[in-house]
Amino acid sequence: MEYIKENLIDRINITSFSEIICEKWSIDSDIITNYIFANISLCIAKNRNMKKEIDKIYMHDQLKYYNAITNSKCIEHVIIKQGTLEHELYARRVLAILLEAEYDNSLRSKLIKLLRKYYPIIYTTVKKRNKEKLKNKYMKMDIVTRNLEAKFDAAIYLYFAVYISAEAVDHGFVMSILNDIEDFEFESLMNQNIENELEKYKTEIQEIKVLIKREYGKIFSYKDIIRHNNENISNFGYFFEDLLATNKININHIFSEYEFANIDKTILSYIRVTKNRNMDLIVSSIISGIFIQPLINEYKNAKKICVENNNEVIQCELNLVEDKLNYVLNENNNLKTKIEELNKEKLLYEKNLNQQLHSLNNIHKQEIERLGNNLKELENKLNQEKSLRLEIESLREYELNLNGDCDNGYLDKNLYDYIQNKKIIIIGGDKEWRRKFRIKYPEIRTLNGFNENFDISTLNNSDYIFFYTKYMNHSTFYKAMNYIKFNECKFGYIGKTNINLVEQEIIDNISKY
């Protein structure tokens, strides 16, 4: 086939063939696939001899095939629904096998053997590229049968062409089949949007409705027809009533849901068939439509209900539910076993945890007791240290008072005299002490003794640097001392707390230099 590349022939199937053609036509890729499968399905469903062998394949794995059609859009194709109820049910089975055969080579081989067995003329036509036998077959048929059979044969022809002779087929015949598919999908009345058609012929439909009402009055339901004053019209109604009664159907029951008939669709069909405006012909057509349309609706609804509720569907759904139930039961049993195991592990874990907690509580209590004893011991030492410091301070004050006379000369010295025009920095001392010292001597700068990250440039051009070592850490001290050593700065130490005594210490240190 000219659309298909040679290197794809070995891997081609109906689905990929459809995708290639539909891509060329810029249409939905499922159109050709669904058309081929729908026609083959209905064709085989009408072949009583072949149906038996299809049943053998289908019943071998009924659930698998049921799932295949459940997920396929082709099941709703208009061609699938064209046969009788029995035909539609069997067509669904064939469709399921066709769908699975797309990906199952073994199943496809079986299916092709069956098609070859029951459709030998089509098989020969494909293999030998000779349509003579097929033409002879059609010559023996009436035109209606020929048109119907030709569409079935065309679908089977394409199936054979794709799977047994993709490299050598009658291209012209294939293209004519594809053109027929295109016409069916886009030109066939069955595939046209009825609402668009009603809108298209809206004016003509309204004209005929006006004519009917003017000539015959209201005709919108079967009751209007039976009770009509015109004897010819009422006889039409009685005829249909009698025909239904002959078949054991009461017209009032079956038409009870159709009190009002929308005759627009009936008029549409009349307009599309003929331009004849003979009122007798129009009225007879409308009356036929009023009776036939409800029967068509009921027929389609009955088929739908039967298809959806037939034993096969129910059985498959039941099997699915049973499979799910068995799975859930197995999962439930597995979960119960796991829960029991987890409960055992939980009990064991709780037992071990309680033992560990008991052991840790004992250790914790012992540790608290030990720390409490240590705390009391440290508190006693701290109280002793405080008492000792107070005693030392008292002795220092006493010593200072004893030496008061000899130190009067020093006390008379004023620190201001020593710090004028001098840059003096004190590193250390608690915060409150530094604050008070800055208030009294704003010329002297104090630095926090516990800030080892202070800017070293602060010490630049210092005349004297003093360390209050009681309130500073080692890092701050060594950082400042390294600077002092490198720059050979003058420095000293402060040991007193009393500001007056500190003043004397500073004076003494400055006096040394």
179-221: pLDDT as tens digits: 888 888 887 878 888 888 889 999 998 999 898 888 888 888 8
Give the pLDDT of residue 97.
93
Give the pLDDT of residue 405.
44
DSSP code at position 452: T
Amino acid letter, 30: D
- 120: nearest Cα among 157, 149, 151, 165: 157
For residue 71, give the 3-state DSSP assignment: coil
* The model's pTM: 0.56
CA distance 239 to 508: 143
In Å, how far are 62, 87, 93, 95 from 58, measured between CA atoms?
A: 6, 15, 7, 10
Give the pLDDT of residue 316.
64
Q: Describe the crossing of helices 143-164 and 120-128 by its angle, rounded to 10 degrees.
A: 60
Give the pLDDT of residue 96.
92
Q: Which residues of the chain register pLDDT less than 50?
A: 1-9, 395, 399, 403-410
Give the pLDDT of residue 499.
85
Can you say whether residue 448 is alpha, beta or left, with left for phi > 0 and alpha for psi between -120 and 50 degrees? Answer: beta
CA distance 141 to 135: 10
Give the pLDDT of residue 52.
86
